[in-house]
Amino acid sequence: MGRYIIKRLLLAIPTLFGVIIGVFLIIHLIPGDPVEVMLFGTSPTPEQIAEMRRVLGLDQPLFTQFTNYLWDVVRGDLGESIQRHAPVASEIAQRLVPTLQLTFAGMGIAIVFGFTMGIVAALRPNSWVDNAAMGAANLAVAIPAFWLGILLILFFALNLGWFPATGQGGGKRLVLPALSLGIGYSAIIARLVRANLIQVLEKDYILTARSKGLIERIVVFRHALKNALIPVITMIGLQFGNMMGSAVVIETLFARMGLGRLLVLAILQRDYPLIQGTILVFGIIYIVSNLIIDVLYSVVDPRIHYA
């Protein structure tokens, strides 16, 4: 297990380096002068432009800028926000926890609903139960998350008054955003669980387990479901990264001050150091989530240790 994890960590290093290069180039891919773009609308003097170039290090050769940026990232220094006049790392740290709470809650809802619908449908293929579960899944995946969020606010917050409509703090304020984020992804998990579980339940070793007199619950959950999990785990890992991106819309809709909303505000304010730092953190989280998925492969199927 230890060698496998080390191997995956080493393979993640080139990906992380590529993310750092891409984030570094953001400020250099802006059409025109990046400093003038950042100071647009403020009528900056030549002295202010020169000072901004010095602060951002844009007065140095490109290779020197990159090496300095790389060294700062290694030390955890993501620069200073232009608009907020505060370290980018501290701004991100304040808003990272709400985003992770929302993402994990949404993923939990997606897994619970997705596995429940997928297993129920797989155990009764082509029955009314299967059709109802897959019909609900198709409907869930077709509804945009922001539109579902609006419906949830109208019904559960404004009409019934069960949950707060916006804001953060406390479990109740997390329910509606998490449902908005997780329902659509639960449909993807449900369809994948159903398809893989139906295939596994037709295998010879499942027939052998049943012929030994094992109860159906043990056959399904101990023998069949575990062997159907590899593709599902892959999808969950990809969905976690997608959820982090979708959180931008959900946090804006529910007025949650998370990492996604911080990125939107940074873009609107042309705060490029903050944009760079936020995108870098999103990239690192995506890499880490995929690394965790790789480790889970080896837990579900021990043969992967020797891959």
pLDDT tens readout for residues 57-69? 767 777 887 888 8
Whether residue 48 is found in the same domain as residue 133: no
C-alpha to C-alpha distance for 93 and 216, rounded to whole angstroms: 48
Which residues are CB-contacts of 275 (< 8 A; sequence separation ≥ 6)? Answer: 26, 263, 266, 267
C-alpha to C-alpha distance for 184 and 182, rounded to whole angstroms: 6
C-alpha to C-alpha distance for 242 and 252, rounded to whole angstroms: 16
| 160-188: pLDDT as tens digits | 878 887 777 777 888 888 888 888 888 88
What's the whole-number average pLDDT of the chain? Answer: 79
Contact indicator for 197, 122 with CB cutoff of 8 Å: yes
Whether residue 70 is found in the same domain as residue 110: no
CA-nearest of 101, 41, 79, 37 to 267 is 37
Whether residue 40 is found in the same domain as residue 173: no
Q: Count of domains in the chain?
A: 2
Q: Is residue 285 part of a domain?
A: no
Q: Is residue 242 part of a domain?
A: yes
Whether residue 104 is found in the same domain as residue 250: yes
For residue 186, the domain's CATH number is: 1.10.3720.10
Whether residue 120 is found in the same domain as residue 154: yes
| Res 158 pLDDT > 70 | yes
Query: Where a domain ends, among 234, 252, 268?
Result: 268
156 compared with 170, residue with greater pLDDT? 156
Describe the crossing of helices 272-300 and 259-268 by its angle, rounded to 10 degrees.
150
Whether residue 42 is found in the same domain as residue 183: no
Domain range for residue 36?
Answer: 2-75
Contact indicator for 137, 215 with CB cutoff of 8 Å: no
Contact indicator for 271, 82 with CB cutoff of 8 Å: yes
Q: What residue type is assigned to position 243 of the chain?
A: M
Is pTM, for the whole model, over 0.85? no
Q: Is residue 276 part of a domain?
A: no
C-alpha to C-alpha distance for 229 and 196, rounded to whole angstroms: 8
Percentage of the chain exceeding pLDDT 90:
0
| 196-233: pLDDT as tens digits | 888 777 777 777 777 777 777 777 777 677 777 777 87
